[in-house]
Chain A
Amino acid sequence: MAELTLRDAISLGLREAMDNDPRVIIMGEDVGAYNGAYVVTKGFLEEYGESRIIDTPISEAGFVGAGIGAAMAGLKPVVEIMTINFSLMASDQIINNAAKIHYMSGGQYSAPIIIRTVTGGGAGLAATHSQSFEGFYATIPGLKVLTPAFPDDALGLLRTAFKDNNPILYCEHALLYNVRGEIPDDSSFEVPFGKAKTRRNGSDITLVGYGRSVHTALLAAEKLQERNVDAEVIDLRTLRPLDIQTLIESTQKTHRCVVIEETWATGGFGSYVAYEIQKNAFDDLDGPVLHIGGLDVPAPYARNLEIMTIPNEQWILDAVEKEFGL
C-alpha cells in the first residue's frame, strides 16, 4: 500500500490512462505549460507532448464542445475546467450535448468524455469562484457525477471512468488535494459507480456526505463519540448514479440520519437524498431526516466570514442535539 495525496492519486490515474490508451488526451486551460491550475498534470506536457496535452484558450464552451466532439469521434478526452464555477459557460455543452447525444442520436453516438473540474468554497476566492455545482449536475440524466473525498476513491473512480462510455463530471474539491491516504497496490483496484462507502461504522446515527462534507462528518463523529454517540459516516462517492440502498440500510440500523453538503441548503442535492431516506426508511426513523447545507448567501470574500457559511462539525453537533437530543 502506498500513501498518496488525493492530487497524486488523480495524477497517477491520468498517467495510467495516458500510458495505456493512445485515445486519451488532456485539454483545458493551463493544463500543459503551467502544469495545471492545481498542479495535477505536472510534467505531462514534457512527457506526452503537445498533441495529447493541449492548452486551450479561455473559452469553456469552446473546449468542452471540442472535447465532446472528440469523444463522439472516438477519442477518450479528459477536459479540465479550472473550476466548476466556469462550467456554467459550458453548461449548454455539458447538459444539452454531452448528456443527451446518446439518447438524441438513438444510440448512434456516445460522448465518453471525462470532465475534471474543481469544486467547493472555503479558500477565500469570493462569491463567483467558491460555488459547488456538482449536486446541480447530478440532477441531469445522462451525466455521471463523481465526488471523491479520499485518494483511494480518487484513483479507483478515475480508473472506472476511463472504462465508462458516458460523459462524466469528475469533481475535485479544492481543499482536499492534500488529503493523504492509502492506495491499494493492486493495479486492478477500481471503485464502482453507485456504491457508497461506509467510512466509519457506528450504531446511533448515520451521517451522510460527499466530497469535503465527508471529512466534516468524520470530525463530527469523533466529537459525538465524546458524548457516547456512535456515529456511522457514509461517503456517497458518486452522486449519479446514487446509492440509496446503503443509506437506507444504515438508517434502519441507527434510526437517525443527517445529510451534509456544502452547497446552499435550499434545493441542495442532499435534500433529495434526505427525501429518499425518509421515504424508504420511514418506519425506522426516530426523528426527522436532517439536511445540513451551506448558508443561503453568496460566499463572502473575507475568509473569516466565508467559513461561517459552510457547514462545519459544530453545525452537525448542534443539529443532532437539537433534533435528536443526542
Chain B
Amino acid sequence: MPQMGYDMKEGRLIKWLKGEGDEITTGEDIAEIETDKAIIPMPSPSGGILRKIITPEGEMVPVGTVLGFIGTLEEEIPSNLTSVPVENNNIPENENVTELNTSEPIEEPIIETPKSSSETIKASPVARRIAADKGIDLKLIQGTGPNGRIVEKDVLNYSQPSASPQPVTEAPKVSTTPSNINSEIIELNRMRQAVARTTSASSREAPHFYVTTDIDMTGTMEIRSQVNKALESQGKRVSVNDIIIKACAVALKNHQNFNATFHGDTIEIHPNINIGVAIDLDGSGLIQPCIMSCQNLSLAEISVGTKDLINRARENQLRAEEYIGSTFTISNLGMFDIESFTAIIAPPNCAILAVGSVRQQPVVSDGEITVKQMMKVTLSVDHRANDGAAAARFIGEIKSLLEQPIGLLV
C-alpha cells in the first residue's frame, strides 16, 4: 500500500483493475486505492505478470502492506505471504519479483515526510555524560551545535522544568452529554477525519503567526479584464486566484524559506514550487491538491492547470503527487464575500496565504479620497521556520507584484 498523502496511514484497496495472470507494464494502473481524500488509481511500480493478489478488494490495510506480487511465470512466490504491513522493503531474493509495498510515493516527485520522533538523538559524548549525571532527558533539549547536535553548553544551559511535562495528547473524546439527548450523531467521513487530524496536528505543533496586508487590486482587475477579453475567443478565463497563484510563485522564488518544510533540526528547501489550492467539494469536504512546478508555468498555463485540478478533484481523479506534493498553499474565500480570515498551515508546508474578496473601498492617497479595488491577504507562518520580518518581506513582494501586475504576464 503506497503512501499517497502526507498523513496517509492506511488505505483501502477498492478494486483490482488486473487479475492474477494478467500482464502488466510499469506505470499501468493496477488497482484503485481509497485514501483519506479520494479514490485514485494506482500505477504499477514494475512490469511483469500479476502472479498473486494478496490483499483482497475492499480491505483496509496500513501503508506498507504487500498488496500483491508481480514477476515472471517461472518465479517461485514466497509462501509466507499475508496481508500484513512489512516493516521495511524486504525485497525477495529473486530480484525479478517486486513487492507492491513501496512506502514511497509511487511517482515523481519524491516527497520527504518529516523525520519520525524516534530518530536517534544527536548529542556529543560529553553532553550525554553530563545529561546522564544530572538525570536530564536529552529529548527535552534543543541542540544548537552543527547539524542540531546537542553540545555541552546546551546541557549546561538547560534548566529542568519544575514539574514533569505533560505528554501532548490527542483531543479527548467527549461523550454525549445528557442534555443533548436528542442530538444527531454523525460519523465523520474519511476526508473529514483527515482534515480534523491534520489541522489539529498543525495547530498543535506549528506555532502560527499572522501577517496581513491590504493590496490595491485595481491594476490587476484591469489587466485581468483585458486578458480575458483577449482569451474570450478561446473560451478561456483567468481568475483572480490564478493571478494570485502566479504572484506567489514568483515571490516564492525569492523567498525560498517559505517554499520549505520544517524538520525539527533542519529546513528542507523544495526545488519545485508546487502551490496547493484549497478546494471546497461542495460542502462534502476540503481538499488541497497542488499545481506542480508553478515556477515554470505562465499565467495562462496556471489558469488552465487550476481549472483542470478543480475538475479532477471533484471527479476523484487526482494523481498521487498532486495530493502530497504541495510546498505552499493558497486558501481563497473571496467568492464568499469574506473580507479577511486566517488559515491553518497545511503540513508539510510552513506557510499558507488566506485571500479575502476584492472590494471597492475608499482609499486616501495623496490627500484625496479615491475608490480602489482592495483585497486583504493574511499569511499564516510557522514561526519555527520563519520570522516576522521575513514574512513581511515575502507578503510585501506578493503585494507589489499584484499592484504592478504587468510583470506577471511576461
Contact = CB atoms under 8 A, between A and B. Distances in A.
Contacts of B127: 286
A161 B308 CA distance: 86
A57 interface: no
Nearest to B128: A283
B156 to A, nearest CB: 10
A258 to B, nearest CB: 14
Given A255-B152, A325-B151, A284 B145 contact: no
A277 to B, nearest CB: 12
Contacts of A282: 125
B129 A324 contact: no
B409 interface: no
A32 B125 CA distance: 56
B226 interface: no
A286 B124 contact: yes
Interface string B147-181: 00101100000000000000000000000000000
Nearest to B124: A286
Given A322-B146, A325-B144, A325-B146, A283 B125 contact: yes
Contacts of B81: none
Given A255-B152, A325-B151, A283 B129 contact: yes
A323 B151 CA distance: 11
Contacts of A287: 124, 145-146, 149, 151
Interface in B101-158: 124-129, 144-146, 149, 151-152
A140 interface: no
A286 B146 CA distance: 11
A142 B251 CA distance: 69
Interface string A297-311: 000000000000000
B146 A285 contact: no
A285 B124 CA distance: 6
A52 B165 CA distance: 82
Nearest to A285: B125
B151 A286 contact: yes
B153 to A, nearest CB: 8
A214 B286 CA distance: 66
Contacts of B145: 286-287, 324-325
A314 B398 CA distance: 42
What is the interface of chain B mostly: helix, strand, loop, or mixed?
helix
A283 B126 contact: yes
Contacts of A284: 125-126, 129
Contacts of A325: 144-146, 151
Given A255-B152, A286-B151, A287-B151, A323 B129 contact: no
A322 B146 CA distance: 7
Size category of the B interface is 10 to 19
A182 to B, nearest CB: 37
A324 B153 CA distance: 11
Contacts of A286: 124-127, 145, 151-152
Contacts of B152: 255, 286
Contacts of B151: 286-287, 324-325
A324 B124 CA distance: 10
Nearest to A288: B124
A316 to B, nearest CB: 16
Nearest to B150: A286
Nearest to A287: B124
Interface string B282-326: 000000000000000000000000000000000000000000000
B145 to A, nearest CB: 5
A323 B125 CA distance: 14
Contacts of B128: 283
Contacts of B144: 325
B133 to A, nearest CB: 11
A323 B146 contact: yes
Contacts of B146: 287, 322-325
Contacts of B129: 283-284
B138 to A, nearest CB: 14
Interface string A251-285: 00001000000000000000000000000001111
Nearest to A321: B146
Interface in A228-263: 255
A168 B109 CA distance: 63
A282 B129 CA distance: 10
Contacts of A285: 124-126
B119 to A, nearest CB: 20
A255 B126 CA distance: 7
Q: Which of B126, B129, B151 has the most A CB atoms < 10 Å from its CB?
A: B126
A316 B89 CA distance: 43
A27 to B, nearest CB: 51
A322 B151 CA distance: 14
A167 to B, nearest CB: 39
Contacts of B126: 255, 283-286
Interface string B2-26: 0000000000000000000000000
A285 B123 CA distance: 10
A285 B152 CA distance: 9
A324 B129 CA distance: 18
A283 B127 CA distance: 9
Contacts of B125: 282-286
Q: Which of B125, B127, B129, B145 has the most A CB atoms < 10 Å from its CB?
A: B125
Nearest to B154: A286
Interface string B339-371: 000000000000000000000000000000000
A324 B126 CA distance: 13
Nearest to B151: A286
Nearest to A251: B126
Interface in B53-99: none
Contacts of A283: 125-126, 128-129
A283 B133 CA distance: 12
A287 B125 CA distance: 8
B260 to A, nearest CB: 22
Interchain residue pairs A-B with the least CB separation, the first 3:
A286-B152, A286-B124, A285-B125
Interface of B: 124-129, 144-146, 149, 151-152
14 contacts: A255-B152, A283-B129, A284-B126, A284-B129, A286-B124, A286-B126, A286-B127, A286-B151, A287-B145, A287-B151, A323-B146, A324-B146, A324-B151, A325-B151
Given A284-B126, A285-B126, 12 more contacts: A255-B126, A282-B125, A283-B129, A286-B124, A286-B125, A286-B145, A286-B151, A286-B152, A287-B146, A324-B145, A325-B144, A325-B151
